[in-house]
A = this chain, B = another copy of it.
Amino acid sequence: MAGVNKVILVGNLGSDPEVKYLEGDKAVAKLRLATTESYKDRNGNRIDQTEWHDLEMWDGQAKIAEQYLKKGSQIYVEGKIKTDSWQDEQGQNRYRTKIRVLSFTMLGGKPDGAGSNQPSNSQQAYSPKPAATSNTSGSSQDLVLDDSDDDLPF
C-alpha cells in the first residue's frame, strides 16, 4: 500500500511568485511553471508544446521563493501531485491539480536581481548560496524535512 507520488520538473516561471502570509509565521507561495517540450512534426517543423504547472510552496520555502525567484527564473522542482476536488454552485464536481513542492533548485547563472519586491542589490543577500536549494523546511536551524512519514500538516 505504501506508494510513491513524485514529480520532477525543470522549467521557467511564468510570473513572480505570489506569496501570502498566514497566522503564525506560516506562508504559502503560488507559482506557475512552464515546461516546454520541443519536437518535429511529420513535415519537419519544430513544434513547442508547453505545459503549465501550478506549484505550491510553504513556509521557509515560500519565503525563499519570494526572495530569489521571479518571472522567467529557471528551476528544478521535486514534489508530489495533489488534486483538490469540490462541488461548484451547480453541484458539479470540479478538480484542480497542483504540485506540492518538496524541494527546488535554482538553475542557470547567478540571479541578476531577486524577487519582485527586492532591491537589485540583493545579490549580497543571496551570497554563500543558502537559497540555491530549498527543501521543505522551517526552523531556523535549517532543519530539512520531507513530508512522507511524519505528522506534518500537509
Contact = CB atoms under 8 A, between A and B. Distances in A.
Contacts of A142: 39-40, 149-151
Interface residues on A, range: 35 or more
A46 B149 contact: no
Contacts of A109: 108-109
A40 B139 CA distance: 13
Count of chain copies = 4
6 contacts: A3-B10, A7-B81, A39-B149, A46-B128, A83-B97, A102-B146
Interface of A: 1-12, 34-42, 46-49, 51-53, 58, 74, 76, 80-83, 88, 90, 92, 94-97, 100, 102-103, 105-109, 128-130, 132-137, 141-154
